[in-house]
Structure 1
Amino acid sequence: MTQIPARISDWFAAKGWSIHPHQQDMFDQAQEPATLLIAPTGGGKTMAGFLPSLSELADGAHDGLHTIYVSPLKALAADIRRNLRAPVEEIGLPIRIEDRTGDTSATQKKRQRVDPPHILLTTPESLALLTSYEDAPRMFAGVQRIIVDEIHALAESKRGDQLMLALAQLQALCPDLRRVGLSATVEDPEGIAQFLARHPDPCRIIQADPGPDPDIAMLETKEMPPWSGGGAAYAIPAVLEQVRQHRTTLIFHNTRAQAEIFFHNLWLANDESLPIGIHHGSLDRQQRERVEAAMVCGDLRAIVCTGSLDLGIDWGDVDLVIQIGAPKNVKRLVQRIGRANHRYNAPSKALLVPANRFEVVECVAALQAVQEHDLDGDPRGAGPRDVLCQHILIAAAAGPFEADVLYTALTSAGPYADLHRSEFHACLDFCATGGYALRAYDRWQRLQQRSDGRWQLRDPRAAQRIRMNLGTIQDTDTLKVRLKRNRGGKPLGEVEEGFAASLTPGDTFLIGGQIVRYEGLREMVVEVSRRADKKPKIATFSGTKFATSTQLSDRILRMFAQSDWAHLPAHTADWLALQRDVSRLPQRDRLLIESFPDNGREHICVYGFAGRNAQQTLGLLLTKRMEETGLAPLGFVATDYATLIWGLDAVTDPRPLFQIDALREGLETWLAGNAVMKRTFRASATIAGLIERNTGGQRKSGRQATFSSDILYDTLLKYDPDHLLMQITREEAMRGLVDFGRIEAMVGRINGRIDLLRLDRVSPLAAPLFLEMGKVPVKGEAEERLLAEESARLLQAAGIQSP
């Protein structure tokens, strides 16, 4: 056991604390090339990560940057700075700590490159930006450690891939750099360890005592959940009662729109005027900071929030977490639960509130998964190539490079360990020329090879443009919202550009918990006035709908197979029993399809349990296949568990509809000219550097960027369909927006075992789908037949014989 310096151990003793075993383990393993710590929320993970750095810096001998801390959130970096400065100042350590994020002033950023602090707290984007400067070798010369906090969150996104490429560059500058990963929710420790470590170096995994199980249950309400919807308005009185009974309650939602609507309804019911705030990523930064400050001080009894408060910020005395709506993902639920009783060996208390009847089943499945410590997560795929292209440009901005040296560095990053040299050279060629179809255009001739074989920027001025467009976060295009004043009033936040385009003067909507009236658009700013006396007509955001994870879907199907549902509320158990009596409950290894008439139309309900995105895609592909086989679909609607299709003809044999090759071919055809592909292309082209959103201090509007990306997409589709970016776009669309992999997995799992049940009416399980929003009409033969029938009816009514 390595001895912790007396100054630090004495400080622990003065606080009445003792070193946790996992903190001592981290100190003992401080010289390991890579270490992953998995410890529960409140277990002192951050201190465990920093203890070796504080010890090594205690004597004041180190000059310059020693430790880099990377966080997914700017707010988390600022929170760590506050919490880390306290022990440093109280112990009297000669350590300078600063953060560097998008909120840091340009003056401070410039000074940090010349005179870096001992500990720098930053984000993946800011770190990548620092590696793009010519003086990066000097700034990073003495770096000893890098700490990646909430590594599980970064590992699930392109931000994590970008970070690992930046670490590969740092490791080339600092061969002895030691890596530390911190997380409370890791479903695959070995996978995260491989992601973190320099390939093929091993990564030491330290797992702390997980502590007591959380105190988690379903919220009991007087009213039953509705059959559909996601707002959970029925539970407002019960939620408000819980707020009264606790000091501080976090009320999580899955989308910003739902958070806004729930906050509005909660405030209307708040007769006691309890202090309640709202926090999400589209609110104005000053408003978010005011809410955060009030939370730290304990001035708020409840905060309605979204994923903006998922991660490890210590927001004061939170003693209850409420999750509104099914969590869709067990790992996300565990992360949110950990916000309550943010202390080691203190059980977190949480309540789940299903938004509708089916979500009751999903919430029970999630509760069981938490109790069994069964986290969900999909295997990581290969590192995306659009991020790789951006990194090649970042490397060029830092100075000339040798292709072989860069390739060796890139393949030391976990996500790119299996990158083939031909794939790397294809990305390099794209960065240099734009690819075959774009070689003739000077604007995409960005790199050139020197006589010594090294690559460099063709125009040195391009470095600044590369830095201005760096990053992988593809925010929905947003416009600022301000109160209308002569010179611009108080900022309230942001709304999506598409939503703003749908507004007409007089429309009202919610933002920041208040109702505002749309007055007009001026200089790309949405001007509004307060209008508290009018009910809002429309929600602020369409919001991202999470898809239920594969593991959670499997749990629900296993629950259906049980003979006893005593663990379910009576109303839900009775509903499922009725389904079993009149039809059948879905099974994991068979595909249940119900066929029934309703309101003069034929319906089929396909219970795929593949998640919302996949079920939506399945609706598109099945209706296309139905058209091709002579059936006449009219439309469909999808949820996480089923797709309901209606039309003019009954389906008698569904098996030809589910031939995987035909589905895949249909997907390719549908994607080629679809807005999904264009939207995906735009995101990948922006990340890869083909499209610049920021030019000379000006940011293109979403419409401008869409226009230019659509032209590029149509050009490549016509003249170079196998262009690197078209390949990347197809991969991204298949993996993300359409989730075709889960359709393939479902078809493989059922292996032709399809049960078509013909019913005389809608089944209990299918009934809620009739109430779902988001119905998609199908244009085709069915519409033409209806028009022909209506024309014949009108002619007959008029006494005219049809020809």
Structure 2
Amino acid sequence: MARAPCPSSLWFASRGWKPFAFQKEVWQALHDGDSGLLHASTGAGKTYAVWFAALDRFAQMPAIGTAAPPRRTSPPAPLTVLWITPMRALAADTARALQAPLDDLQINWSIGQRTGDTGSAERARQGRRLPSALITTPESLTLLLTRADAREAFAHLSMVVVDEWHELLGNKRGVQLQLALARLHLWNPQLLVWGLSATLGNLAHAQQVLMPAGRLVQGKLPKDLRIDTLLPPGLERFPWAGHLGLRMLPQVVAELDASSTALVFTNTRSQAEIWYQALLDARPDWAGLIALHHGSLSREVRDWVELALKEGRLKAVVCTSSLDLGVDFLPVERVLQIGSPKGVARLMQRAGRSGHAPGRPSRATLVPTHSLELLEAAAAQTAVAERKVEARLSPEKPLDVLVQHLVSMALAGGFFAEAMLAEVRSAWAYRELSDEEWQWALAFIRHGGHSLTAYPDYRRAEPDADGLWQVPDARLARRHRMSIGTIVSDASLAVRYWTRGGAGGSLGSVEEGFIARLRPGDVFLFAGRPLELVRVENMTVFVRRATSKKAAIPRWNGGRMPLSSELADAVLVKLDAAARDDYASAEMRLLRPLLEVQQQWSALPGESTLLAEVLKSREGWHLFLYPFAGRSVHLGLASLLAWRLARSQPLSFSIAVNDYGLELLCASPVDFAETLPAALAASDELLNEILASLNAGELARRRFREIARIAGLVFTGYPGAPKSTRQLQASSGLFFDVFQQHDPGNLLLSQAQQEVLRQELDVQRLQQTLQRLQALQLDIRPIKRATPFAFPLLVERFRESLSSEKLAERIKRMVADLEKAAGPGGYQTDAPGFAIDDERPMPRKRTPRQGKDGKPRPPKHRPQKKTL
């Protein structure tokens, strides 16, 4: 039976809008008391679908057909809706979107925000009374749950909305949220939970993790998603990552000039800094019309950029993933993506930042930074058209998150072990938590495990005579509250201007590891301007404006994203078509000279063949293999192959990997054609072989740093006095050694090893890749010189041992020799120099080594070797 018109429909009608079918379906679902997952394209209207459903069900709406009543002077409704957002930047924009209907309909609800950016005065007000709808992050929600009066504060909570669920699903922040929701469900079993997502390839899993039962609503709207490529005038037939980048600057400037407002996405903050400065250098008249946005800039700068973009006062913003999600920038006409997005979901998400409204087309233009990214661009267009979106899986049983949560709940009035176990197991990630693992977790928060029993700092919670677990030490309680969360990064230093009176204005933050390499007087690029380092004091970097154009580029962690399986599969389809002389798209036609040289000198990889190239050079014996499985998998596969090949005789290998393939180089003779088939064979001992082939202990030690900080073993310091990265590394390393020697059964050690296998090496995908390779025809091709596909792997290896200038010289000579061998047909340009868009900091200028004739001598190359 159809429902009568509701105030939500009337509000839509007053704006000339007509609710979509999926919005009405969500309204009906909440009216029926159902939870669910709403999956719809970006800008389709997901926010108002769930917000009006909440208002219709829980708020006192004005009577239909009557004027809205005057706003009452009574206090607003208590906390009724929690709105979880994965990013602080989304909170303010979401608050504005939710406030508009309240004002128009004069609903007596209040909207509040609780994130890391919330000021102390607002926190104090919320401490006295929470707003009717609170927009917060997983970390801030957990912090709220540690309040002694948390149950009373959340007594009227009726609904939780998890925005951008796909961004939380696959990481520990999502697990932290699962545990928080388990606590809220305990207090209110009738609590409604709705997830919102735009790009998910595994909806059933996403829904199951968020809520055991509920509706799946899909907003299948005819969204016009246009993906195209900004084609260069021509391409070198021997590409290398980073060489093309800024050569596309004139075309990018022309595209921005023809657009009213655009977002220019980059994959790293370093790249964003470079492109912003390059655009300003190319068009000085755009000063004040273009801006820079990434997570290391100060909140004030980011807020200004977001507001100016929303009001249409900016022509372009160069940004990173900091603007990937949810923020509604209606003026944005188009998106440019510098470099490959490396994933279908990421490309669709970023494309959706343009035309962010129902019925408006979204357009993303790919800007290749090297020749082979044209191949990825062509494949990405096909994958987007076919909606081949990557799946995201929730982590299972991360014990560092569990022990942090147990201490948090011990602060919130305490818990009884048996009841808490049932609560924890109700979270999807811990549904199979064993009794032994549970007892270990309790022992860990009680005395730090077997090896830390004598230290009072690790007695963070303990049961009283009645079995109620609580935190007995107020000092430890304060420390824990400051450490809640699962986002772990290197220590950051504030960047401020130096003035005669002391500290000046704030610019943001930069990682300590980068600044440690600089000396006073050195220049680096940050916040879109060259800055001279004055001094470092009290975790603050003091700088002044510099006139030098040659500057180091800060490099933040998390730079290189691996190619997704879906995009890699689409690339192989394009290569198969090229092997059949099918060059249907403009991107593939431009790539034709490169691919034809690859075919003439070797062959093209494909869906049914595994291409292996064998080369003998002055450096030794090379193997180039092209599984197209992504950088992480290729690292594990290269190490595994090297280990297997070295079992029969002692061999040393140099290894290089990229998203397309891998290189093994051995100074000793190796018959790769004879030994490779056996090295690629399947094995029942694959896991043990992977651990044996890698320095697994060092990888696990590095991963343990994050686990130790989340689990509370390492305290990061007090506000204004954080510990340095070196101190944190030393502390976590000491714990790692102590556990290995005195507590080898510590489950955090095994978690570190599992995370190395699952996240850094992607062992599941590695195993699937090996199985896939077994079904392929191995095509071993002897080659006389590096092919277009092999050349980028050579450059990757050279990067490890050569400075920027020496690398440029060597590449220049190699490209000239290869182009000469390939004959006419290549794109003739100036000899490629080492472009400034390489992510590494530029080294100090060194005096060239001189030969007897007074001319500079060629650089020595000492390849980095891996002895097995």
> So what's the TM-score if we normalise by structure 1?
0.92
Aligned mates of 2:796, 2:59 — CA distance in 1: 59
Q: What's the C-alpha RMSD, in Å, of the aligned pairs?
A: 2.4
SS of the equivalent of 1:16 reads coil
Instruction: Compute the displacement of 1:675 (Å).
Output: 4.2
Which residue among 264, 270, 282 is the counterpart of 1:269? Answer: 282
Structure 1's 655 and 715: CA in aligned 2 closer, same or farther, altered over 3 A?
farther
Instruction: Compute the displacement of 1:598 (Å).
Output: 2.8
Amino acid at match of 2:535: G
Residue 605 of structure 2 corresponds to 586
Residue 709 of structure 1 corresponds to 732
Query: Which string of whole-angstrom CA distances, capped at 9 and with x for unpartnered residues, describes residues 498-538 of structure 1?
Result: 11111123322211111112222122212222113432244
Contact 2:292–2:527 (CA<8 Å) still a contact in 1? yes
> What runs of 5+ residues in structure 1 fail to find an aligned partner?
779-803
Which residue among 470, 475, 493 is the counterpart of 1:479? Answer: 493
Whether 2:273 is the aligned partner of 1:260: answer yes
Aligned mates of 1:140, 1:537 — CA distance in 2: 50
Query: Which string of whole-angstrom CA distances, capped at 9 and with x for unpartnered residues, describes residues 750-777 of structure 1?
Result: 2386443322222231122223367457
Structure 1's 479 and 676: CA in aligned 2 closer, same or farther, altered over 3 A?
farther
Amino acid at match of 1:44: G
Amino acid at match of 1:20: F
Aligned mates of 1:253, 1:355 — CA distance in 2: 11
Which residue among 702, 710, 717 is the counterpart of 1:687? Answer: 710
Query: Which string of whole-angstrom CA distances, capped at 9 and with x for unpartnered residues, describes residues 461-486 of structure 1?
Result: 43222211100001232211222224
Amino acid at match of 2:782: R
Which residue among 522, 528, 531 is the counterpart of 1:516? Answer: 531
Instruction: Compute the displacement of 1:683 (Å).
Output: 0.2
Which residue among 787, 793, 796 is the counterpart of 1:763? Answer: 787
Residue 506 of structure 2 corresponds to 491
Contact 1:38–1:182 (CA<8 Å) still a contact in 2? yes
Residue 220 of structure 1 corresponds to 231
Query: Which string of whole-angstrom CA distances, capped at 9 and with x for unpartnered residues, describes residues 411-459 of structure 1?
Result: 2222222333332222222222212222232222222233333333343
SS of the equivalent of 2:584 reads coil
Amino acid at match of 2:42: T
Aligned mates of 1:670, 1:695 — CA distance in 2: 41
Residue 828 of structure 2 corresponds to none
Contact 1:603–1:650 (CA<8 Å) still a contact in 2? no
Contact 2:612–2:623 (CA<8 Å) still a contact in 1? yes
1:350-749 correspondence to structure 2 within 5 Å:
350-486=364-500, 487-541=502-556, 543-562=558-577, 563=580, 564-567=582-585, 568-588=587-607, 590-630=609-649, 632-633=651-652, 635-652=654-671, 653-658=675-680, 660=683, 664-665=687-688, 667-669=690-692, 675-695=698-718, 698-749=721-772
Aligned mates of 2:633, 2:489 — CA distance in 1: 22
Aligned mates of 2:217, 2:328 — CA distance in 1: 23
Give the stretch that moved more between structures: 53-62 or 121-130.
53-62
Residue 862 of structure 2 corresponds to none
Give the stretch that moved more between structures: 695-704 or 256-265.
695-704
Contact 2:114–2:134 (CA<8 Å) still a contact in 1? yes
Residue 245 of structure 2 corresponds to 232
Aligned mates of 2:513, 2:680 — CA distance in 1: 35
Structure 1's 354 and 755: CA in aligned 2 closer, same or farther, altered over 3 A?
same
Amino acid at match of 2:60: A
Residue 783 of structure 1 corresponds to none
Percent sequence identity over aligned pairs: 35
Instruction: Compute the displacement of 1:593 (Å).
Output: 2.3
SS of the equivalent of 2:365 reads strand
Aligned mates of 2:706, 2:440 — CA distance in 1: 19
Query: Which string of whole-angstrom CA distances, capped at 9 and with x for unpartnered residues, describes residues 293-317 of structure 1?
Result: 2111211111111000000101240
Contact 1:114–1:139 (CA<8 Å) still a contact in 2? no
Contact 1:34–1:196 (CA<8 Å) still a contact in 2? no
SS of the equivalent of 1:761 reads coil
Aligned mates of 1:571, 1:247 — CA distance in 2: 29
Amino acid at match of 1:353: V
Structure 1's 628 and 484: CA in aligned 2 closer, same or farther, altered over 3 A?
farther
Contact 1:257–1:541 (CA<8 Å) still a contact in 2? yes
Contact 1:671–1:677 (CA<8 Å) still a contact in 2? no
Residue 70 of structure 1 corresponds to 84
Aligned mates of 2:458, 2:33 — CA distance in 1: 43
Instruction: Compute the displacement of 1:388 (Å).
Output: 1.5
Aligned mates of 1:483, 1:565 — CA distance in 2: 54
Residue 207 of structure 1 corresponds to 218
SS of the equivalent of 2:286 reads coil
Contact 2:630–2:659 (CA<8 Å) still a contact in 1? yes
Instruction: Compute the displacement of 1:380 (Å).
Output: 3.6
SS of the equivalent of 1:368 reads helix
Residue 18 of structure 2 corresponds to 18
Give the stretch that moved more between structures: 133-142 or 641-650.
641-650
Work out the number of aligned pairs and report it.
775
Contact 1:595–1:650 (CA<8 Å) still a contact in 2? no
1:133-148 correspondence to structure 2 within 5 Å:
133-148=147-162
Contact 2:200–2:389 (CA<8 Å) still a contact in 1? yes
Amino acid at match of 2:630: G
Aligned mates of 2:349, 2:217 — CA distance in 1: 19
1:175-214 correspondence to structure 2 within 5 Å:
175-197=189-211, 199=212, 202-214=213-225
Residue 39 of structure 2 corresponds to 38
Contact 2:77–2:110 (CA<8 Å) still a contact in 1? no
Amino acid at match of 1:207: Q
Structure 1's 300 and 697: CA in aligned 2 closer, same or farther, altered over 3 A?
closer
Contact 2:330–2:354 (CA<8 Å) still a contact in 1? no
Aligned mates of 2:694, 2:789 — CA distance in 1: 31
SS of the equivalent of 2:732 reads helix
Contact 1:165–1:391 (CA<8 Å) still a contact in 2? yes
Instruction: Compute the displacement of 1:697 (Å).
Output: 7.0
Which residue among 121, 142, 155 is the counterpart of 2:135? Answer: 121
Contact 2:716–2:728 (CA<8 Å) still a contact in 1? yes
Aligned mates of 1:259, 1:135 — CA distance in 2: 44
Contact 1:2–1:27 (CA<8 Å) still a contact in 2? no
Contact 2:329–2:354 (CA<8 Å) still a contact in 1? no
Structure 1's 337 and 227: CA in aligned 2 closer, same or farther, altered over 3 A?
same
Query: Which string of whole-angstrom CA distances, capped at 9 and with x for unpartnered residues, describes residues 171-227 of structure 1?
Result: 111121100111111211111110110x4xx12011112323312111133243781
Instruction: Compute the displacement of 1:248 (Å).
Output: 0.6
Structure 1's 491 and 655: CA in aligned 2 closer, same or farther, altered over 3 A?
same
> What runs of 5+ residues in structure 2 fail to find an aligned partner?
62-71, 803-868
Contact 2:93–2:327 (CA<8 Å) still a contact in 1? yes
> So what's the TM-score if we normalise by structure 2?
0.85
SS of the equivalent of 1:168 reads helix
SS of the equivalent of 1:146 reads strand
Aligned mates of 1:346, 1:4 — CA distance in 2: 30
Aligned mates of 2:558, 2:393 — CA distance in 1: 26
Instruction: Compute the displacement of 1:269 (Å).
Output: 1.1
Give the stretch that moved more between structures: 735-744 or 275-284.
735-744
Amino acid at match of 2:218: Q
Which residue among 161, 170, 175 is the counterpart of 1:161? Answer: 175
Contact 1:32–1:204 (CA<8 Å) still a contact in 2? no
SS of the equivalent of 2:532 reads strand
Aligned mates of 1:288, 1:613 — CA distance in 2: 32
SS of the equivalent of 2:699 reads helix
Give the stretch that moved more between structures: 14-23 or 293-302.
14-23
SS of the equivalent of 2:353 reads coil
